[in-house]
Amino acid sequence: MKTGTSPKTLRIPNDTIADIERVAQEKKTTFSKEANRRLNGRNDDTNYPLFLAKMQNIINLSYEGYRAGREDLFQKAQEEERKLWTKIMTSSK
């Protein structure tokens, strides 16, 4: 299958254009690349299975903390949640 590019006229809401430009600038890429990524429905989260595994660990720590009455396990779950949240927020730019 041959691939190439062709210019096309497309009406895009101004707020969507602004969002694409902002994200492209944050990712240090071009408007076209970011727009094409969105059109192709690509999800940047290639670590989704890892995310699910980490979430399950947090749930398990919380459950075990509840079951055993151990506050340290709740604190560990909170620490893991903060690490995961930080990683998600910094990798989404």
Cβ–Cβ < 8 Å for 30, 38: no
Render pLDDT for 3-54 as a digit per residue (tens, 0 to 9).
788 888 889 999 999 999 998 898 899 999 888 888 877 655 566 788 888 8
The identity of residue 13, as a single letter, is P
Render pLDDT for 41-79 as a digit per residue (tens, 0 to 9): 765 556 678 888 889 999 999 999 999 999 999 999 999
Supply the pTM of this predicted model. Answer: 0.48
Sequence-separated (6 or more) residues with CB below 8 Å from residue 26:
93
Q: Could you tell me which of 43, 92, 71 has the C-alpha nearest to residue 84?
A: 92
Give the pLDDT confidence score for residue 93 in this predicted structure: 45
